[in-house]
Every structure is written in C-alpha cells, then in structure tokens.
Amino acid sequence: MWENLSAKFYLNFIADDRWKYIVDGLKVTLTVTFFAVLLGIVIGFVIGVIRSTYDRTHKLKFLNFLCNIYLTIIRGTPVVVQLMIIYFVIFGNSRIDKVPVAILAFGINSGAYVAEIFRSGILSIEIGQMEAGRSLGFNYLQTMWYIVMPQAFKNVLPTLCNEFITLLKETSVSGYIALQDLTKGGDIIRSRTFSAFMPLIAVAIIYLALVMIFTYFVKCLERRLRQSER
C-alpha cells in the first residue's frame, strides 16, 4: 500500500514539477483574498456610515436608497455569477488580467457583508457618545471619526477577521474564469494524472490549514481585546 501511495504522490506532485501548480495557485489565492478584503473594507465602511447615518438622522436618503439596491443585488445573487458577469460581460471585450477581475468581484461581494458589519458596529455605540461629541464642539463627521468609529471598529474587528476567512474559501470558485488559483491548480494536476484523490485532498488540507491558522489569530485578537476592556 505504501508503495502505491508513494507512486501516486510522485505522479501527482513530483513528476514534471506538478507541485508548482499548487504553490502558484496558493500565491494567487492569497493575493486575491488579501486585496479583495481591503477593497471590501473600503466599500463596506462607506456604505456602513451612510446607512447608519440614515438610521439615526434620516439624512442621505438618496444615498441610502442606492446602498440598499447594492446590498439587495449583491447579497441576493451567488458570488460565482457576479464573478462571471464582471469577467465575461463587463470586461468581455477587453484583454484584462484575471487577478484584478477576481479582486474586484470578490471585493464588491465582500463589501456588501462588511457594510452590515460596520453598520451594526456603529449602531452598537450608545447615542450618548454622539451627543457628548457634539457637546464638545465636534460636528457630525468629526464625532463619527474621533469618537464613534474607533469604538465601533474595535467591536467589529473580530468579525472582520472572520470575513477574511470566509472570503478565503469563497475564492475557490475563481476557476470559473480560468484563473489558476489553489483549487484550479489541484484540478489541473487531476486532469494531467487522471488521479483525483491526492491533488484534491492536498488542496483541502491547505485550505483547512490556512483557516485554522487564521482562526487561531482571530482568537488571539479576541482575547487581547477582552483584556484591554478590563
């Protein structure tokens, strides 16, 4: 049995340097995830502020209406469909690198969920904090920036980290636009060797290891935040 496993391991990963498909795919997956999270945070922050402002002051009505349309569309359709629309429809007539397209698609998708995270974090801060800031002479934006947002960001930071973990797994559908991410790298090996077990199990183990590592850091972050509140 061990000889059979070693032979399959050699065939799937050593022969013709097929392990490079996994390594290169992992680099693409981490790159897409990292920059998509940054884009999602920017989009989510802006929308979260707009929606929370409307909830408390009923201002920015038109912007809040546009944000609701965005949230309804993005959260109501699968991310793989959004990815394919952006690549094959919006950028269908242009020769554009697949990595920026994936970053854009996953960033827009993540922004819809991050927006609700920021909105809930802002609304979790007592209205008295806003009134205290205004009594000190701050205008609305200054109060939000210097008083409300630092507290809200601290409250939602663990949830944002969990969004990073979720997005990491969601990028596994990047192969639908022929982007050679981690999952696609394993699939390429499978198509070359006609052996599905080892390459796909290797991909699954790598995803699991990454999720466990990031989960550990999230728990450490939550523990640190709890200590700072004492």
Q: Which residue has the tokens 């693409």?
A: 28
- Kind and range of the H or E element at 56? helix 19-57
Distances (CA, A) of 203 to 17, 24, 34, 169, 186: 16, 12, 19, 11, 6
pLDDT tens-place string over residues 144-172: 888 888 888 888 888 888 889 999 999 99
Q: CA-to-CA distance for 187 and 25, rounded, in angstroms?
A: 11
CATH number, position 145: 1.10.3720.10
pLDDT tens-place string over residues 189-216: 999 998 888 899 999 999 999 999 998 8
Q: Are 104 and 86 in contact (CB under 8 A)?
A: yes
Q: Are 111 and 67 in contact (CB under 8 A)?
A: no
> Containing domain of residue 118, as a range?
2-229
Q: Which residue has the tokens 């809930």?
A: 120
Q: Are 37 and 30 in contact (CB under 8 A)?
A: no
Mean pLDDT of the chain: 89
pLDDT tens-place string over residues 18-59: 899 999 999 999 999 999 999 999 999 999 999 988 988 888
- Indicate whether 230 pLDDT > 80: no
Q: CA-to-CA distance for 148 and 133, rounded, in angstroms?
A: 9
* Total domains, the chain: 1
Q: CA-to-CA distance for 53 and 221, rounded, in angstroms?
A: 29
The type of residue at 58 is H
Eight-state DSSP code of residue 17: G
* φ/ψ (deg, to 5) at 137: 100, 0
Q: Which residue has the tokens 């945070």?
A: 41
The pLDDT-based confidence of 7 (bands split at 50, 70, 90) is confident
Of 2-6, 71-75, 177-181, 200-204, where does mean pLDDT reach its minimum? Answer: 2-6
Q: CA-to-CA distance for 80 and 117, rounded, in angstroms?
A: 22
Determine how many CB atoms are found less than 10 A away from the CB of residue 18: 19
